[in-house]
A and B are shown apart, each in its own frame.
Chain A
Amino acid sequence: MSFNPLKERGIPLEKQLRNWSELNSVPYDTRDVHPYTRCRVIAMNGIEVEAVINSHQFSRHTADTGIKQQLALVRRIEQQQQKAVNWLIPAQESVLEVTIGYEQVAVDLTAWLARHEPDPYLKKVYEFALLEDFDHLYRYADLMDLMGERRKAEEITGDLTEICPGRPTIFEHRDPRDELRRPMTLTAADTQSVMNAITIVSAEQQTMNYYMNFGNRPEDPLARGLYLEIAQIEEQHVSHYESILDPTLSWLTNLVLHEYNECWLYWSCMQTEADNRIKALWELHLGMEIEHLRIACQMLREVEGVEAESFLPAQGMPEPMMFEPNKEYVRDVISRTIDWTSYDAQFLPVTDLPPDHRYFEYQRMVNAGGVPSEQVIDRHRAEFGSEYRRETEGAHPTETLREDGDHDRFSYHEIAARAHELEEV
C-alpha cells in the first residue's frame, strides 16, 4: 500500500475556506475515545502548528510579494485546519490528562519512526530521545495520581503504552552543545528519513510549546516545577531533532517537503482512524493538503526551475505512519541504551565520558537544590506507599530501575556520585 500525493487531485484553494461553526468541531467523548485517536489529534495539531510557523518564517525571509501572497492564502487555511483539529479535544480533559496524551504520542510516534528509520545513525537519534519521553510519561502519571485527578493515567493511555522509568529525567539535562546531531542531506537521504524528521520536529515542538504555555496552570509548586523541568528537556529534544534536518535547503524546497509530509500524515490518519466522524476530517484535510502541495510545487518550478519529482520518490510513500503499541520494542531499547548520553553528535554510555566533561558541571548547576522529577516519585511513595507504574509486560528490563531495585547501582547514579566525589577532592 503506497501513496503518492503528487498524483492526486485536491480541493481547489478557493473552496477550502470554512465558517466559524464548521471549524468549531464537536469534541470527541473523552470516556470512549480510542487512545490512539487522541494521539492522532494531538500529533496533527502539532503538524498544523509547524505548517503555520514555517510559513510565517518563510514570509519573513522573502521580499517576493507574489510568494508572500500565496503563503498568506495557504496559511489562512492551515490555521483553520489547526483549529478544526485541536478543537476536537474536549474541555473535560484537564491540562494533565492532555499531557499524558502528549507523552503517549511522544512514545508511540517516536517508536514507530525509529522502527521505520532506514538510517542507522538517525535510528539512534530516535531511540535516544524515546527513552527520555518514556520517562516523562511515568513522572507525569505519578503527578496525576498525586493531584487527585478523576482518572488514572492508564485510563488515558488505555494500557497500550507501559508506564515506568526510562532514562531518568534528572540525568537527561545536558550541555546545549551536546544536543546537536549530524544533519542528513536531501540528496542522499531516504525520503522516509526526511518525513520522519519533519514529523518528529513538529511533534516535539508542539510538546515544548504546550509545556511552555500550560506548565504554569497548576497551583502545586511541585507540579509547576515538574512542567518547567520537562519543558527544558523538550527544548533539548527540539534542538536534537531539528539538527538532523538538511540545513541547506531553499525555503521553497522546505515548503514542498512540509506539504508532502502533511499529505502523508493525513493519509496515514485516514488509513488507521476508527472514529468515522474524525476520519472524515482527516479525509477533508488530505484533500486540502494535496492542493497546498501542488501550489508549493508550482512555486518551486516557477521561482527555482526545480521539479519536486526530482527529489521526491516516484512511487510515493510506502506505508502509513501508525499509532500502535510498541511495548516490546521500547523494552528492547531500554535494555540496549538506557545508560547512553551524548557528546556533540555522538552517543555513548555515560560511563565513557571523561570525568571533567561539561555534562557534570551542567548537572551540578541545574540539579542543585532539588529536582522535581525525583521529588514527584518520592512524594508518591510517601503518600501512597509505592510508585504509580503500569508494567504490563513484566518486571522492568533494567534491574536497578525496578521499584525495589538498588537505584544507587544504576550506572548514571554511580557516575554522578563519582563526579561529585571528584569535585569535592
Chain B
Amino acid sequence: MAGNAKNTLDKITDAIGGTAGKVGASMTNEAGDFVQSAAIGDLYEITAGKLALKRSRDETVRSLARKMVDDHTASTHHMMAALEMNETRGVEPPPQELDARRQTMIDHLEQAPDDTFDRTYLDQQALAHEETVSLMRNYSMSGDNPQLRSLALGTLPVVERHLEHVTRLRAEV
C-alpha cells in the first residue's frame, strides 16, 4: 500500500478507535474500569510523548510532548498513591501495558512518515485528550469511589488545558 494511503487509513482507524474510546469513557463509573482506562491513557501519553521527542523537529510540538510526558507521569504517580490508600481498598492495580487500541495508535505513530509525523501526533493527541476529558469529567461526577472521584476532579482541569493546547497547535502546525 502506498505510504499516503496507509497513513490515511491509519488515521481513520485511530479516529474510529478514539470515538469508541470517548463513548466508553463517558460511561465509565466503576472504579476498576476507571483505573484501567486512566492508567492506559497515561501510558499512551508518555509513550507517544517520548516518541515525539525523538522524531519531531518542531519546537512547539516538542514542547507539548515534554509537557505530556511530565504531566502524565505525575498523574500516574497520583494514581499509584491513591491506590495505596484505604479509600481504594479492593480496587485492582492498573495494567502495566497498553491495550491493543492504544498500541495500534503507537504503531501508527512509529510508522508515520517524517513529513506527516507532527500532524499524526497532534491528531492522535486531540483524540486521546477528548477521551481523557470525557473520562475524568464523567467519573468526577458519577464515579463510585470517592478517592478516585477526587483524582478525576483534580486531573480534569489539567487535561482540559492539554486539549486546548493541542487544538491551538493543530490550527498552527
Contact = CB atoms under 8 A, between A and B. Distances in A.
A159 interface: no
B87 interface: yes
Contact of B77 (A120, A124, A246, A344): A344
B81 A345 contact: yes
A248 interface: yes
Contact of A183 (B77, B84, B150): B150
Contacts of A187: 146
B85 A121 contact: yes
A188 B78 contact: no
A188 B84 contact: no
Contacts of B86: 118-120, 188-190
Contacts of B149: 185
Contacts of B151: 182
Given A185-B87, A188-B87, A344-B74, A121 B81 contact: yes
A122 B74 contact: no
B136 to A, nearest CB: 15
A124 B85 CA distance: 10
Contacts of A246: 150
B147 interface: yes
A344 B78 contact: yes
B146 A188 contact: yes
Nearest to A346: B77
Nearest to B75: A344
Contacts of B146: 185, 187-188
Contacts, number: 57
Contact of A189 (B78, B87, B154): B87
A246 B87 CA distance: 13
Interface string B68-97: 000001100110111011110000000000
Given A344-B77, A344-B78, A248 B153 contact: yes
A177 B87 contact: no
A189 B81 CA distance: 15
Contact of A177 (B74, B84, B145, B154): B74
Contacts of B147: 182, 184-185, 188
A120 B83 CA distance: 10
B87 A184 contact: yes
A120 B85 contact: yes
A344 B73 contact: yes
Nearest to B151: A182
B38 to A, nearest CB: 14
Interface residues of B, number: 19
Contacts of B84: 120-121, 124
A240 interface: no
Contact of B81 (A118, A182, A248): A182
A41 B70 CA distance: 43
B85 A345 contact: no
A182 B85 contact: yes
B150 A345 contact: no
B152 to A, nearest CB: 12
Nearest to A187: B146
Contact of B85 (A177, A184, A248, A344): A184
B125 to A, nearest CB: 22
Contacts of A184: 85, 87, 147
A88 B146 CA distance: 43
Given A185-B150, A248-B150, A344-B74, A122 B85 contact: yes
A344 B85 CA distance: 16
A343 interface: yes
B144 to A, nearest CB: 11
Nearest to A186: B146
Nearest to B80: A346
A184 B82 CA distance: 9
Contacts of A292: none
A38 interface: no
Interface in B115-173: 145-147, 149-151, 153-154
Contacts of B85: 119-122, 182, 184
B74 A182 contact: no
A326 B163 CA distance: 50
A14 B153 CA distance: 42
A139 interface: no
A121 B83 CA distance: 9
A181 interface: yes
Given A120-B85, A121-B85, A344-B73, A182 B78 contact: yes
In the complex, the 7 A-B pairs of residues with the closest C-beta atoms, listed nearest first: A344-B77, A345-B81, A121-B84, A182-B81, A188-B87, A188-B146, A185-B146
19 contacts: A119-B87, A121-B81, A122-B85, A124-B84, A177-B74, A182-B85, A183-B150, A184-B87, A184-B147, A185-B150, A187-B146, A188-B87, A190-B86, A246-B150, A344-B81, A345-B78, A345-B80, A345-B81, A346-B77
Given A182-B85, A185-B87, A343-B77, 10 more contacts: A119-B85, A182-B78, A182-B81, A182-B82, A185-B147, A188-B145, A189-B86, A247-B154, A248-B153, A346-B81
